[in-house]
Chains A and B, each alone.
Chain A
Amino acid sequence: MNVLSQLSLQTAFTQLNFNQLLSQYGFIDFVLPFLLIFSLVFMLLELSNLLKVSSDDAVGRKLSAIFSFGFALLSIYNQNLVKWLLSFIPNATIAIIGFTLIVIVLAITNKKVPGILRAFFAFLVVGIILWLAINSLSITGSTQSSPLTPLLSYTLNYLMQSGILTLLIMFLLIFIVLMWIAGGGEKKTEEEEEKIGGPILLRSR
């Protein structure tokens, strides 16, 4: 037991030192974000051929590289981005591992996921990743509050106090009711038509 606890302590110590060493030499705060941003932006530029005259344009390729270099350096200047990446990427990687495990389990069963579950999974992925991203953004609050928020609340207050909001809601309700009535009528006639248009033998009787 004692040996085990010593070993775990040693492992924790080594890990802490290694992480510290990486951080100390700017690997996590500087090198990794730079490489990630540079490679992604360069890949997107190469895919879109945005700065190339033709697909084998060497100058265009160099310009894409320079643009990506500048983009990466200028992005790192915002230190919040480094914090977002540090918070978002590990969690998103866990999500990738989780979904990969689901894929592995489903591969064992050798059955394809049906259409309805496929759509559900797509929404689940979007939800989880967006939630993680918003969580990462919330770790760095903005330095000043935006003046757009009080303006929006002022607009809402104005609409409420002047009675326009009530009027609009009433209009909306009337509109919805009208749509419902009109839509329902169509459905009923359709159903009736369907009933009428049943088997010819039955209709002839």
Chain B
Amino acid sequence: MDFSSFIYNLFSEYGIFTFLAPFLLVFSLLYGSLRKIGLFGRDNPSKEKLYAVISMVIAFYYLYNISDVIFTSNFISFFFFEVLVIFFILMIIALIADISEPYKGDEEFQRYKQSSYNGIVGFMTLSVLFAFLYASSVDFNGLGASAQNIIIEIMLELIYTGLLPFLIIIGFIIAAIYWIYRKEPPKKKRNPIKIFPRASGEALIDLSEHTRR
């Protein structure tokens, strides 16, 4: 057995991974959040002690279910990997941003750029959902099973009650009504297929520049 496996086994055996690390994670998060939101008033002299006790108790309750701890481990490890990927993307894009000229475009281009920017930020927040799905697919005995059961139950309910096609058709009708009654587009509207990729690329570069500020 090499040294790294020895350390890993030792840590597992002495509960560093399954007790200390999750306790510190949950305790610090709860304690910090309680301090920040100031739930028991700002002038309460014993508030810090109360926050600490509440956080500690909740953290111990959380530790009681070991499968939740394993789920959290999978959840946060995948999330970290996603953060690392985003970090690499932003790092390289920031390199390119320095040697290139920003394309200003017209008002329509700026509008597309803003919507692309919002889309990218929204997609980045989806990384939490992806991490949750990964953790659910790996650990069925933990929270994953119940979480997936909920999704399956909802889907089956939608199918058996006939709600799914109904919802899709209603969606189409709403889209059609929106399309008919929407505000008149500007007269000289350009082909969005031509502008959108360029606007999305600009939005990506903008994102890296915003992060640097």
Residue numbers of A with Cβ under 8 A of B are 23-30, 36-37, 40-41, 44, 50-53, 59-60, 63-64, 66-67, 69-71, 73-81, 84-85, 88-89, 92, 95-96, 99-100, 102-103, 106-107, 112-123, 125-126, 129-130, 133, 137, 142-148, 151, 154-155, 158-159, 162, 164, 167-168, 171-172, 175, 179, 190, 193
Contact = CB atoms under 8 A, between A and B. Distances in A.
Contacts, number: 249
A117 B201 CA distance: 9
Q: Which of A30, A37, A122, A167 has the most CB of B within 10 A?
A: A122
B57 interface: no
29 contacts: A36-B84, A51-B35, A52-B32, A53-B35, A70-B28, A74-B69, A75-B77, A76-B17, A77-B17, A77-B73, A78-B77, A89-B84, A103-B95, A103-B96, A103-B98, A113-B101, A115-B198, A115-B202, A116-B198, A118-B96, A119-B197, A119-B198, A119-B204, A121-B201, A122-B200, A142-B138, A143-B138, A147-B148, A175-B175
Given A77-B21, A122-B93, A148-B137, A133 B81 contact: yes
B183 interface: no
A84 B134 CA distance: 14
Contacts of A100: 95
B85 A63 contact: no
Given A30-B7, A64-B32, 16 more contacts: A44-B83, A52-B32, A66-B28, A70-B24, A73-B21, A74-B77, A81-B81, A96-B91, A119-B198, A119-B201, A122-B201, A133-B81, A158-B159, A162-B165, A168-B172, A190-B187
Q: Which of B18, B76, B152 has the most CB of A within 10 A?
A: B76
A112 B32 CA distance: 46
Nearest to B152: A151
A60 B92 contact: no
A40 B8 contact: no
**Majority SS of interface residues in chain A?**
helix
- Across chains A and B, which 6 residue pairs bring their CB atoms closest together, nearest first? A119-B201, A115-B103, A51-B32, A26-B4, A70-B25, A70-B24
Nearest to B82: A133
B117 interface: no
B151 interface: yes
Nearest to A126: B89
B53 interface: no
A113 B96 contact: yes
A52 B33 CA distance: 8
B152 A129 contact: no
Interface residues of B, number: 83
Contact of B85 (A64, A130, A154, A158): A130
Given A60-B32, A113-B99, A171 B172 contact: yes
Nearest to B69: A74
B204 A122 contact: yes
Contacts of A129: 85, 88-89, 92
B201 A120 contact: yes
B155 A23 contact: no
Contact of A118 (B80, B164, B165, B201): B201
A75 B80 contact: yes
